[in-house]
């Protein structure tokens, strides 16, 4: 991909400056990075590299902001509506289905659930890792580092949710497993008019 235009760099800086630490943690995970540096510079470099890697500015950034639920950024930076992005994502998605799912379910894991999961994982994770885990996403990252969980291996997560009585979350993971999404999806080339309009506005 050709180098990003100057106004694209400005957009990325505005995004990076608008994200909080919680947003950054989810963003790094969705971008398949386990980094902890949430500085503006670090976030900017990550976003630039991912956009250049995928070659699809601004759709990659729009999809990220959608899953972070930062609709304010979508409107302020890209000048498009929440509905336009939603329609576009029905036909074109580039983020890992696995990471999107794990990010979503992590939001549904309450404090009591997390404490039970930490107890169950006493034999898999060190005491230090368990103590410092502030949310389920932190736990999941450590499990991935140990190759206990991956897009192709989700049984461990399903069992954790089942063992703590969160059958609703276990069912969501099971649905992912049986849906054939365990391999990275190929973005669809179909576009609704709203999707094209969304892309054109964001490029201008």
User: How far separated are the first and last CA of the chain, in Å rounded?
Assistant: 18
Helices (H), ranges, 79-110: 82-89, 97-106
Among 21, 16, 1, 24, which residue's Cα sits nearest to residue 77?
16
- Whole-number pLDDT of residue 188: 39
Among 49, 132, 59, 136, which residue's Cα sits nearest to residue 94?
59
Q: Read off the pLDDT of residues 2-61 as tens digits, 9 standing for 90 and up.
A: 567 778 889 999 999 999 999 999 999 999 998 778 899 999 999 999 998 887 778 999
Question: Is 16 in contact with 9 (CB distance < 8 Å)?
Answer: no
Average pLDDT for residues 63-89, to the nearest whole number?
94
Q: pTM here?
A: 0.84
- Whole-number pLDDT of residue 3: 65
């Amino acid at each position: 991909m050709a180098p990003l235009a100057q106004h694209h760099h400005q957009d990325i800086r505005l995004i990076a400056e608008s994200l909080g630490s919680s947003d950054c943690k989810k963003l790094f995970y969705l971008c398949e990075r386990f980094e902890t540096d949430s500085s503006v510079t670090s976030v900017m470099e990550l976003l630039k590299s991912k956009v250049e890697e995928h070659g699809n500015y601004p759709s990659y950034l729009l999809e990220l902001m959608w899953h972070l639920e930062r609709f304010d950024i979508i409107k302020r930076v890209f000048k498009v509506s929440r509905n336009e992005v939603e329609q576009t994502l029905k036909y074109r998605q580039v983020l890992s289905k696995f990471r999107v799912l794990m990010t979503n379910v992590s939001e549904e894991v309450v404090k009591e659930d997390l404490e039970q999961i930490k107890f169950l994982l006493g034999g898999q994770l060190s005491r230090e890792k368990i103590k410092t885990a502030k949310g389920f996403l932190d736990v999941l990252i450590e499990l991935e580092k140990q190759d206990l969980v991956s897009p192709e291996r989700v049984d461990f997560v399903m069992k954790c949710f089942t063992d703590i009585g969160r059958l609703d979350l276990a069912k969501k993971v099971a649905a992912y497993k049986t849906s054939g999404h365990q391999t990275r999806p190929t973005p669809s080339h179909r576009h609704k008019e709203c999707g094209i309009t969304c892309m054109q506005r964001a490029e201008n």
